[in-house]
Amino acid sequence: MEKEYKALVVNEVNAAFEQTIQTLHIDNLPKGDVLVKVHYSSINYKDALSATGNKGITKKYPHTPGIDAAGEVVSSLDDKFKEGDKVIVTGYDLGMNTSGGFGQYIRVPADWVVKLPEGLSLKESMIIGTAGFTAGISVLRLSALVKPSDGKILVSGATGGVGSVALSLLSKLGYQTIAISGKETEYPFLRKLGASDILPRAEFQEVDKRPILSAQYAGAIDTVGGPILENILKSLQPLGAVTTCGSVSATQLNMTVFPFILRGISLIGISAQNYPGALREPLWVKLATDWKPDNLLELYTEIRLEDIPETVALILQGKLKGRTIVNMLD
């Protein structure tokens, strides 16, 4: 086994943050149970924050981001895994304060590791990645309260990683989906994912001071927060539900309780980072079988390690669509 590997390293230099490709030594990886050779990673919004010095995500630098990794076990101190096992690692502290998937090797606790389920390749698992897994949790929680026959489902941030996979999953399960997007050039992409209609983001972005709006939608998967989430909540039918997992629009909600107490609606928070281990594997199995998106291979762009800095800049500008995976073997 080679002892050296390549990784993207973010350094803090004179109050600025520099991203460079460096050669590192496996012995310097953090302690852990399972050493994994990373075949693929993926780009998530949280990775971009870590890579540009957001201390709310990553406290100490130098650091290797990458909250997703899929690869092959090199060695394991835990009997659950053996050399050659194909595995997925997403969430927990990976890529935040623990050296992450933008390196060709990671070493992590066994509890963070999930065996790759039958029906998924390592590459496909990273097309899903944390964003798709978040979409999976969102659909799982929403579908417990809202059925396809109940009415239309909104998806905000629909061209993004979570939104695009959510659209695909909901369509596969028979829901009538309406995408919210500010990117008219991507409307054909959204229709291909299963959107039955598309509404301009501007219709939801302006704050409507009325405490409650016309009841039009059975539910929603929100990925952006802020005024868009407020307007969605005010527009839900009685007993409707919304899952929320992002705050790229804004972190605050400025609204009354009236939609909740007059219509009995539910707001469900989604966190993939610390999703319980006992629930992770069953959901990955769903995403590999019954819920596997029919158009999974149309959802992604593939890049290499040296392309990450440019791609990080694009995701922060809101210019990426679908999922972006990183081939770590090149």
Does this model's pTM top 0.85? yes
pLDDT tens column, 258-308: 999 999 999 999 999 999 999 999 999 999 999 999 988 888 999 999 999
In a domain, 281, yes or no: no
Residues 151 and 213 in one domain: yes
Residues 198 and 159 in one domain: yes
Domain hosting 176: range is: 131-269
Residues in Cβ contact with 54 at an 8 Å cutoff, skipping those fewer than 6 apart: none
Query: Two tokens at 29?
Result: 């990886």
Strands 197-200 and 177-181: parallel
What total of structural domains would you count in the chain?
2
Residues 242 and 135 in one domain: yes
The answer to whether 209 touches 192, Cβ cutoff 8 Å, is no
**Residue (of 161, 112, 156, 155) closest to 132 by Cα position:** 161
In a domain, 265, yes or no: yes
CA atoms within 13 A on the CB side of 137: 23
Residue-level pLDDT at 204: 94
The answer to whether 204 touches 307, Cβ cutoff 8 Å, is no
What is the band of 221 on the pLDDT scale with cuts at 50, 70, 90?
very high
Residue-level pLDDT at 19: 96
Tell me which amino acid residue 90 is.
Answer: T
CATH of the domain at 323: 3.90.180.10
CATH of the domain at 148: 3.40.50.720
| Angstrom distance (rounded) from CA 125 to CA 109 | 20
In a domain, 291, yes or no: no
Residues 52 and 146 in one domain: no
| Angstrom distance (rounded) from CA 312 to CA 301 | 13
Residue-level pLDDT at 206: 87
Residues 309 and 243 in one domain: no
Q: Is the pLDDT of residue 249 over 80?
A: no
- Sign of the dihedral defined by the CA atoms of residues 222, 291, 65, 182, in that order: negative
Residues 112 and 239 in one domain: no
What is the band of 20 on the pLDDT scale with cuts at 50, 70, 90?
very high
Residues 68 and 12 in one domain: yes
Residues 109 and 155 in one domain: no
- Sign of the dihedral defined by the CA atoms of residues 232, 233, 239, 241, in that order: positive
Residues 168 and 42 in one domain: no
> What are the backbone dihedrals phi and psi of residue 250, each rounded to the nearest 5 degrees, phi first?
-170, 160
Residues in Cβ contact with 288 at an 8 Å cutoff, skipping those fewer than 6 apart: 117, 118, 119, 120
pLDDT tens column, 128-137: 999 999 999 9
| Angstrom distance (rounded) from CA 231 to CA 217 | 11
In a domain, 66, yes or no: yes
